[in-house]
């Protein structure tokens, strides 16, 4: 019987800790949020979120929460926090991202770890977030956009196609590999009945192939973190041992973390009795190899007529704009990440590079939602000030037009408790709602009934 086999493997793995593990099996999964430090701080957020509890042990910006279905909360819409399983924050903590790094998140959807990397970069360096499954890549893009990350490239490519193009380019790489998901069985009770040893072995083969691809994209002396959300030794210690055997240019190094339990001496395992769901984290350093010798991005200014229209639009909407690398492609207006750090993108399947400012619509410019999410309220000339408790906030998020009791005219940003939420256009005393239809929801309070 599959379950007998699964628990026998867990008993063999855990030894004296097996009884502690059994005590957690039927308990609820942990719930947590990670504060988005690009937009706010825990000190600013805590008074607005009464359900925000103690800090998690895996990330200094993570906090346990006591409620579910936070996706409809106004501050979630605004990108003030990301709903994330607590132990899932551990991999980026181990990666040790520093401002200025060039970082690849190779298996990035839905974006929890990518947005954690983005926050650690503090708007500097480069985040490259890749996802092979196209619908999931669009979810990844939406989350990067919501969290206000300006210096990201989002791609939809296979690792074996992407990584050779970027050989030796990245300072740090995260491979949060697709796995059998044993560590998430408490979140998905039905998944345990689909478990099999054969599936775990198939996952291990795929993980090895992904790691092999990732290895070439790391620069010499660069660091790579491999993580999974499974307990399987085949997919964790087995994959690392096999990778090191085939890649003598890499060495296993200490994660620098002390949460969870030790594995392979230098790696870490997390179990439910450690305060999170199942996770495994290993850290590798590339001792030698080739540095990037490929082409860098060649920036070309928009033509004069387009640039005049863009500049006029920006001056009308924003205060002291500081866009340095404006790029126009197929009517879309982008502000690229630092082009001195950007490799050549030609022939690659890129969903977004940098932030999208807007679109040309005949002889006018329609601003994009990303313009609001990427900037602070104080960068906009016109603002509609709201709060989480304001009925108008719920009406805005659900897509309604709002009557104004003060006079403004033109494009403006809706602001909830000091954080940008979305755009609207003030016309004749009404705020015409431009919140994207795909993001609109019922009011937060209504959704809790």
Among the listed residues 229, 257, 267, 388, the single catalytic one is 229
Strand ranges of the sheet holding 332-335, from the earlier edge strand across to the other edge: 326-329, 332-335, 355-361, 364-367
Beta bridge partners of 103: 127, 172
Contacts 24+ apart (CB under 8 A), 299-302: 299/325, 299/327, 299/336, 299/339, 300/327, 301/326, 302/326, 302/327, 302/328
| Nearby residues of 195 by Cβ (< 8 Å), 6 or more positions away | 2, 6, 180, 182, 185
Judge whether 216 counts as a catalytic residue. Answer: no
Tokens 């074996």 correspond to: 160
Which segments of 153-236 does DSSP mark as H helices, in order?
159-165, 197-217
Inter-CA distances, 296 with 106, 169, 172, 237, Å: 20, 11, 18, 37
Residue 242: Cβ within 10 Å count: 17
Chain-centroid distance, C-alpha 401: 31
Residue 168 is encoded by which pair of tokens? 């030796």
Active site residues: 229
């Amino acid at each position: 019987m599959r379950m007998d086999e699964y628990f026998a493997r867990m008993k063999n793995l855990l030894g004296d800790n097996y009884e502690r593990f059994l005590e957690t099996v039927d308990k609820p999964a942990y719930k947590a949020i990670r504060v988005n430090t690009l937009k706010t701080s825990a000190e600013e957020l805590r008074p607005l979120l009464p359900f925000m509890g103690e800090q998690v042990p895996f990330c200094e910006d993570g906090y346990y929460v006591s409620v579910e279905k936070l996706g409809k909360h106004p501050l979630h819409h605004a990108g003030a926090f990301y709903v994330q399983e607590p132990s899932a924050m551990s991999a980026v903590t181990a990666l040790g991202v520093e401002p200025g790094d060039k970082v690849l998140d190779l298996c990035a959807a839905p974006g929890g770890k990518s947005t954690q990397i983005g926050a650690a970069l503090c708007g500097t360096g480069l985040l490259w977030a890749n996802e092979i499954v196209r619908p999931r890549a669009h979810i990844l893009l939406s989350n990067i956009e919501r969290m206000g990350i300006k210096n990201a490239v989002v791609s939809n490519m296979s690792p074996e196609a992407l990584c050779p193009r970027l050989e030796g380019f990245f300072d740090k790489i995260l491979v949060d590999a697709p796995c059998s998901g044993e560590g998430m069985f408490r979140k998905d009770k039905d998944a345990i009945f689909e478990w099999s040893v054969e599936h775990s072995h198939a996952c291990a083969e795929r993980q090895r192939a992904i790691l092999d691809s990732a290895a070439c994209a790391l620069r010499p002396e660069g660091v790579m973190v491999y993580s999974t959300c499974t307990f399987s030794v085949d997919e964790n210690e087995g994959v690392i041992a096999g990778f090191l055997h085939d890649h003598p240019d890499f060495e296993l190094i200490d994660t620098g973390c002390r949460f969870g339990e030790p594995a392979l001496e230098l790696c870490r395992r997390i179990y439910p009795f450690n305060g999170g769901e199942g996770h495994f984290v290993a850290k590798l350093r590339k001792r030698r190899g080739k540095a990037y010798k490929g082409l860098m991005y060649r920036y070309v200014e928009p033509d004069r007529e387009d640039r005049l229209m863009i500049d006029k639009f920006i001056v009308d909407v924003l205060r002291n704009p500081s866009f340095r690398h404006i790029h126009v492609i197929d009517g879309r207006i982008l502000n690229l990440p630092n082009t001195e750090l950007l490799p050549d993108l030609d022939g690659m399947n890129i969903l977004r590079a940098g932030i999208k400012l807007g679109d040309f619509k005949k002889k006018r410019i329609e601003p994009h939602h990303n313009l609001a999410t990427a900037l602070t309220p104080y960068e906009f000339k016109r603002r509609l000030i709201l709060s989480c408790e304001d009925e108008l906030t719920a009406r805005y998020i659900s897509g309604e037009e709002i009557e104004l009791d003060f006079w403004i005219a033109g494009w403006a940003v809706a602001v909830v408790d000091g954080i940008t939420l979305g755009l609207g256009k003030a016309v004749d005393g009404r705020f015409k709602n431009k919140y994207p239809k795909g993001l609109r929801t019922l009011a937060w309070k209504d959704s809790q009934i």
